[in-house]
Structure 1
């Protein structure tokens, strides 16, 4: 009798373990898919007059500490989104990476550079279905102007 009870307990434990391994967390990538990195908006901010980068030129007009991003919903502008800078130290290729929301739909960011008026970035994120689903940027607007990526980044012209 004891043997039969132990066998049933072992069998039930195996079934529960098998079922629990099939349940996946919504935040995890499906089995066999690479985990996706944080979704970011890669940008350079250029002068409208000279097309020179305002932050990464040989003689930049602004320092990276002069740049702030806020979500439109943050009306008090207390929750600053800090863009990361990636690229080489010689300044030939440097880009700001702005963290964006990982939900599908439209979102709005407010960009503030030191003494300049605020600018608006509207972006949308889309779900890409398939065996390994992922999120990607769909559309990007800067001050109502539609942008297309150039060499993997968006050029915001001020």
Structure 2
């Protein structure tokens, strides 16, 4: 199953490790985990913490069972994280595939993947294009962090 929530990408994988380290080793309910992530990892609010939980589970850095989360003990490398990102995060692979050697803005990439946004997502908000352009930009930022893309002064390009 692919996951949609994607928190803003941090500056480094060390920051990802800090958020992951805030999770318990023994599964705890989502609310408890969100509190831990906010208080221990400096995540600004519960909504962002919840997005982190879902995202960490998608890339294999946390486990989720019946609404409870725990950090995993495996330490996947950057390539494994990149593979999990493309496989388990909604629109991640399409976002990466939309890149080329020519720099593109998040809006340019969104235009290439917009048809993949489910109809019900489009119907639930008036500003769905802006909302999903931001979601594409977050995916692009994570793609850079995982080595799947590069940021230039003119936009995003495919990684070498």
* Higher fraction of helix: 2
TM-score range for the pair, normalised by the shorter chain length: under 0.3
Which one has the largest radius of gyration? Answer: 1
Structure 2-normalised TM-score? 0.22
> Hey, which of these two has a bigger chunk of strand by percent?
1
TM-score, length-scaled by structure 1: 0.22
